[in-house]
Structure 1
Amino acid sequence: MKILITGGTGQVGFEVVRLFSSFATVFAPTRQELDLYDLNAVSYYLSHNQPDLIINTAAWTAVDAAETERDCALMLNTSLPAMLANYCAINNIWLIHFSTDYVYPGHGEIPWLETDTTGPLSYYGETKLAGDIAIEFSGTQYIILRTSWAYAARGKNFLLTMLKLAATRDSLSIVADQWGAPTPARLLANLTLLFAERIRNNLTLESGVYHAATKGYTNWHQFATEIFNLCQQKNTGLLIKNAGQVKAIPSTAYPTPAQRPKNSRMNLNKIERMLNIKLPDWQSQLQLTMDELL
């Protein structure tokens, strides 16, 4: 089985490439090898390599920058997945694509269902939703994995930002009114593999959108506090100068160019039922990621 993985140097893509390298023949071109902003180049690469499955982890994920660098966000989040989906439809192969909680309006406290009405609050969310819609209407067989608060032991993410700030700040102020489930890239790669195995073995698989995240919910302040608690337990030395100075603040006290959803809770029943699994909680996954980091 030949698998094309786009965005293989990103935090999710890296984990997917690492896991899939022993599963199939993997094509994971770097930015130098394939410019994903050049759809003609992408088209040529596809026709030349003829993959049996495409896993699209590439995305413009700089949420605030998307508000001004709209062409770049639109290209990676909408135009690229639309093109990949059309190729998959023509060649009768599956597409696995990563999406985001930012497609939802972010109000309330009830976990979102895959069938709930969308309503992005930012241009980033708008382009990701447009990419999802393009895939859905392409006619291909697809798996869209909508996840939340992705992080890893490498790349740019909340975990590594907190550890970096911990070494330089006397105190930290962290938003406490945005709720979601921190989800490690490693877990997303494992879920992707389970879907790919079903595709390869022609097992029952429902084409559509799936939520992919850890169990349980937290806010950014509680997430940061748990990170620092684990640092203390593991005697890493990665502590803020005053461990008691982690202040909880509202979103209004930390304005950003792009509005964030306050409710990123997602119902996980569909993916658990389809894959016959029980997803782990966010706390245990954070411990595993911290162990990997250390």
Structure 2
Amino acid sequence: MHPKRPLKILLTGKNGQVGWELNRTLAPMGKLVALGREELDLEKPEQISKMVRRIRPDVIVNAAAYTAVDKAEEDSELAMAVNAVAPGILAEEAKRLNALLVHYSTDYIFDGTKTTPYVEDDAPNPINVYGRTKLAGEQAIRAVGAPYMILRTSWVYGTNGRNFLLTILRLAEEKEELKIVDDQVGTPTWSRFLAGTTAQMLQKVYNTALLTECRDIYNVTPSGQTSWYGFAKAIIENYKIFNGDKSGLLLKRLIPVATSEYPTPACRPAYSVLSNKKLKRKVGKELPKWGLFLEQFLKGI
């Protein structure tokens, strides 16, 4: 591929919280073909191969995923089809075209027994079905040998799809009291930051070397860490600051609780902070704290 030719990019999952942002950030980089589930269903392997061969992209950005962590416990076949089998097929098609595959993974591939941020080379040990299917997706991609960038992220929120932030705001309009887990620690990540960083990394690789030389994994999160309770507290406080009397929130009390008091079908890692040192070296600058992105997001909704 000639490095100065405009890129042809195939984006999957265009309606998800990450895909929706990628739709905007990738468009200036060349010809973008963005597909939702209606156009490309990752549950159907034959659809995947057919579509990629028809479009013949230089870069495939796979933002489609099965992300319902608790539901995955009983829906493991579907989660495996979307999170593991489909990425492997995309990697095979990328290899045929000598194209680059950009794929998103998760902090939930780790078991949470560390007390310092996970680096890219740490041994994975997922403790739920969702984490196992996402790890299987990573392994499938790497086994094919096609060019790839796997971007691991955590606690993603945005205006589209279902996420913790939108759930907290909805519940805060309905209830006076909420109990939130305070002993699981991670880093909230705005989908716009994730999409912007993806475009930045692609541009950097495109300008300095052939995309097809990429075979790497990066943790992509802002700086800092918090618990789900800390995140919820910051959401409510900032939302009230930006909306004042118009906030319409009933909520009066946020109560921190232990994981043991709030059982869920899927186990979650107690600590899943991802080190972003490698990413900082790649983009060549410090990464803002998660709270700054939260403020920007809440100002805009």
Name the TM-score, length of structure 1 as normaliser. 0.96
Secondary structure, aligned partner of 1:109: coil
Q: Quick one: distance in 2 between partners of 1:275 and 1:242? A: 40
Task: Give the Cα–Cα distance (whole angstroms) in 2 for the partners of residues 29 and 161 of structure 1.
Answer: 26
Distance apart, 1:82 and its partner CA: 0.4
Deviation at 1:55, TM superposition (A): 0.4
Q: 1:202 Cα shift?
A: 4.1
The equivalent of 1:149 in structure 2 is 155
Alignment correspondent of 1:69: 75
User: Contact 2:174–2:251 at 8 Å: present in 1 too?
Assistant: no
Task: Give me the CA root mean square deviation.
Answer: 1.4
1:99-124 alpha-carbon deviations (Å, 9 max, x no partner): 00000011131110110111000011
Unaligned runs of 5+ in 1: none
Find the partner of 2:44 among 38, 41, 47.
38
> Is 1:211 aligned to 2:219, yes or no?
yes
After superposition, what is the alpha-carbon deviation per residue over 1:15-37, rounded to whole angstroms, capped at 9, x for unaligned? 00121122221111222222221
Aligned-pair identity (%): 37
Q: Which residue of 1 aligns with 2:258?
A: 250
Residue type matched to 1:93 in 2? A
Q: Which runs of 4+ in 1 moved over 2 A?
A: 198-207, 235-243
1:3 to 5, 9, 12: 9
- Find 1:85's aligned residue among 88, 91, 109: 91
Conservation of the 8 A alpha-carbon contact between 2:173 and 2:248: yes
| Paired AA for residue 169 in structure 1 | K
Whether the aligned pair in 2 keeps the contact of 1:66 and 1:123 (CA below 8 Å) is yes
Is 1:27 aligned with 2:33?
yes
Q: Residue 126 of structure 2 aligns with which residue?
A: 120
Distance 2:278 2:242 in 1: 36
Partner of 1:238: 247
CA deviations 1:148-184 (Å, max 9, x no partner) are 1000123211111111001110100000000011000
Could you tell me how far apart the structure 1 residues matched to 2:22 and 2:178 are?
A: 33
**Counterparts of 1:79 and 1:100 in 2: how far apart (Å)?**
16
Aligned to 1:201: 207
Counterpart Cα distance in 1 of 2:63 and 2:250: 37
CA distance in 1, matches of 2:183, 2:64: 29
Partner residue of 1:276 out of 284, 287, 301: 284
Does the 8 Å contact 1:147/1:183 carry over to 2?
yes
Query: Paired residues, what number?
Result: 292
| Alignment match, 1:227 | 235
* Separation in 2, partners of 1:238, 1:257: 33
Which structure 2 residue ranges, 5 or more long, are not aligned?
A: 1-6
Partner of 2:145 in structure 1? 139
Residue matched to 1:290:
298
In the aligned structure 2, how far is the partner of 1:292 from the partner of 1:75?
Answer: 35
Match of 1:158 in 2: 164
Q: Which amino acid in 2 is paired with 1:219? A: S
Structure (1 or 2) with the greater helix fraction: 2
Tell me the distance in 1 between the aligned counterparts of 2:265 and 2:140: 26
In the alignment, is the contact (CA less than 8 A) between 1:231 and 1:239 conserved in 2?
no
CA–CA distance in 2 between the matches of 1:251 and 1:54? 38
Counterpart in 2 of 1:174? 180
**Structure 1 counterpart SS, 2:41:** coil
Could you tell me whether the CA contact under 8 Å between 1:180 and 1:265 is conserved in 2?
yes
Could you tell me whether the CA contact under 8 Å between 2:172 and 2:251 is conserved in 1? no
1:66-113 per-residue CA deviation (whole Å, 9 max, x = no partner) reads 111111100110001001111112221111100000000111311101
What letter corresponds to residue 207 of structure 1 in structure 2? R
Cα deviation, residue 147, structure 1: 0.3
CA distance in 1, matches of 2:152, 2:262: 26
Inter-partner Cα distance in structure 2 for 1:144 and 1:34: 21
Q: 1:225 to 1:82 in 2, by over 3 A?
A: same
Report SS of the residue matched to 1:290: helix
